[in-house]
Chains A and B, each alone.
Chain A
Amino acid sequence: EAQVTQNPRYLITVTGKKLTVTCSQNMNHEYMSWYRQDPGLGLRQIYYSMNVEVTDKGDVPEGYKVSRKEKRNFPLILESPSPNQTSLYFCASSLAGGVGWDYTFGSGTRLTVV
């Protein structure tokens, strides 16, 4: 089954403790992206990757890091999480960058930072 898999689904952590949210897709998609969802704001793009070793900032990149060492994986790293990073996170992929492609979203990761 074609899918984007995020782990974990739920995570509660403490301020300052480094964490990684994994994202993996099995569709050989070139493009991957991370979004965060906050009430009233919809989803906002954090980082994106057009292909292996090619990543760039989205609209809200502060406090996050990403890497794209393999085509299928695009982990989101929070080096020192803070309470304002409490949010619902989604990973997405599409066949290629550029407009017009369908996106496949992961099931989401609900992160709470206390």
Chain B
Amino acid sequence: AQKVTQAQTEISVVEKEDVTLDCVYETRDTTYYLFWYKQPPSGELVFLIRRNSFDEQNEISGRYSWNFQKSTSSFNFTITASQVVDSAVYFCALSEAEAAGNKLTFGGGTRVLVKP
């Protein structure tokens, strides 16, 4: 069965520190997609990235970077030089080809608090 684990429930850093959010997933599918979403205090979900299971290239977008490793079933997210605006809850999610209902399976989320 599909499962996403975000072991860190809350991380607190001081501005300009780097922070890495862990995401470990379980799936029997060979075709799947992984996502990261940001949920700021206002509550909406902001899409950050989607990565398919056949593309293990790491990705960088500004201060954000993602490390996808199929060997360890992990899709970790790093914020470099964190800013107060990065304070939010971050969700990792999995979508499988064989899952009924086109379901996104979410991790429990990691709350990031960036202090000035």
Contact = CB atoms under 8 A, between A and B. Distances in A.
Interface of A: 31, 33, 35, 40-45, 48, 50, 56, 58-59, 88, 90, 92, 94, 97-103, 105, 107-108, 110
Interface stretch (B14-22, B76-84, B89-97): B89-97
Contacts of A94: 102
A9 to B, nearest CB: 9
B102 A98 contact: yes
Given A42-B109, A43-B91, A48 B104 contact: no
Interface in B14-72: 31-33, 43-45, 47, 50, 52
Contacts of B9: 40
B81 to A, nearest CB: 27
Contacts of A31: 102
A103 B104 contact: yes
A99 B6 CA distance: 22
B50 A102 contact: yes
By DSSP majority rule, is chain B's interface helix, strand, loop, or mixed? Answer: mixed
B106 interface: yes
Interface size of B as a range: 20 to 34
Given A42-B107, A43-B104, A108-B43, A99 B96 contact: yes
A contact patch SS: strand
A90 B106 CA distance: 13
A33 B95 contact: no
Given A41-B108, A42-B109, A102-B50, A58 B103 contact: yes
